[in-house]
Amino acid sequence: MNIAVISTEEIRFVDLFSGIGGIRLAFEQTAHSLNIESECVLSSEINTDGQLVYEKNFGHTALGDIRLIDKLPEHEFLLVSINLVKAVAQEAIMKAFYFTQQIYSNYSKA
Question: What does the pLDDT profile of the chain (110 residues) look like in tens digits?
Answer: 555 555 567 899 999 989 899 999 999 999 999 999 999 999 999 999 999 999 999 998 899 988 888 888 999 999 987 665 666 667 767 776 666 666 656 555 55
pLDDT given at position 8: 61
Residues 98 and 19: their CA atoms lie apart, in Å, by 29
pLDDT given at position 67: 86
pLDDT given at position 57: 94
pLDDT given at position 104: 55
DSSP string of 78-104? EEE-THHHHHHHHHHHHHHHHHHHHHH
pLDDT given at position 80: 86
Collapsing DSSP to helix, strand or coil, 70 comes out as: coil
In the chain, what are the domains? Answer: 10-84 (3.40.50.150)
Collapsing DSSP to helix, strand or coil, 14 comes out as: strand
pLDDT given at position 97: 67
Q: Residue 63, CB half-sphere, CA atoms under 13 Å: how many?
A: 16
DSSP state of 9: S
Q: Residue 55, CB half-sphere, CA atoms under 13 Å: how many?
A: 11
